[in-house]
Amino acid sequence: MKDANFGPYHIRKWFSFYEETLANETGILADGEPVKKYVIAAAIQNPFAGQFSEDLSALIENSPELGHEFGRRIKELAGDNPIVSYGKAILVGADGEYEHGNAFLTNPAADPVRDALGGGKSWVPSTGKIGGPGATLDVPLAHKDALYVRSHYDSISVSFNDAPRNDEVLIVWAFATRGRLHARLGGLKAEDAKCENGLV
């Protein structure tokens, strides 16, 4: 086990990424503010790499510490820009199991991120896969308080040139300031959402 440098975890590297979209794919200018998207990721050593364990609680129990740090970093990165959508994903190195990555995405890790954003009533959409450095990961996005707001179903594609290594898990969170540009497929509108139960 490599020396811990963040609670019980060994984090090799933090990543952050920002994207601002001013026009849609056909060149039509934004209907309002541009879409601003943020990605924060951490390459963490997987203590279960190369082995099977029935009990993965060691990954879950301390994950709120990671959640607090992701929350702190998105507030710092986004500044005064309000976050209305979020999503998360994991990319597990070749010596790990998909389940190892999922252990870092449970509610104990997500709740501090919600708190940092001033609340998030809907569940956080997530995905993941096994892969290596340079693999592309599509991180889903949805409205943080009303999952049925169709205009906010979105994603952001990311890749990292040197992560994850075989014995790492790459934890990725993504955030957005609005829904898709010129969303016009109907459904519940963000301004009409009650934001009471996480769905509508």
Position 192 scores a pLDDT of: 85
Give 125's pLDDT tier (boundaries 50, 70, 90).
very high
Mean pLDDT of the chain: 95
Per the CB < 8 A criterion, the answer to whether 65 and 13 are in contact is no
What mean pLDDT comes out for the span 136-162? Answer: 96
The neighbour count for residue 198, using CB atoms within 10 Å, is 15
Domains annotated for the chain, with CATH where assigned, are 11-192 (3.30.1330.110)
- Tokens representing 94 are 């070749």
- Look at phi and psi of residue 12 and say left if phi exceeds 0, alpha if psi is from -120 to 50, else beta: alpha
Res 153 pLDDT > 90 = yes
Position 134 scores a pLDDT of: 96
Give 42's pLDDT tier (boundaries 50, 70, 90).
very high
Q: Which residues contact 134 (CB under 8 A, 6 or more apart)?
A: 159, 160, 161
- Tokens representing 182 are 């010129």
- Find residue 168's DSSP bridge partners: 45
What mean pLDDT comes out for the span 118-137? Answer: 95
Position 119 scores a pLDDT of: 87
Q: Rounded to an integer, what distance in angstroms lies between the CA atom of residue 99 and that of residue 167?
A: 14
Lowest mean pLDDT among 17-26, 35-44, 185-194: 185-194
Q: Rounded to an integer, what distance in angstroms lies between the CA atom of residue 128 and that of residue 68?
A: 21
Res 189 pLDDT > 90 = no
Position 184 scores a pLDDT of: 94
- Tokens representing 3 are 């020396």
pLDDT single digits (tens) 163-184: 999 999 999 999 999 999 999 9
- Tokens representing 128 are 């993941």
Helix 63-78 × helix 107-116 angle, to 10°? 30
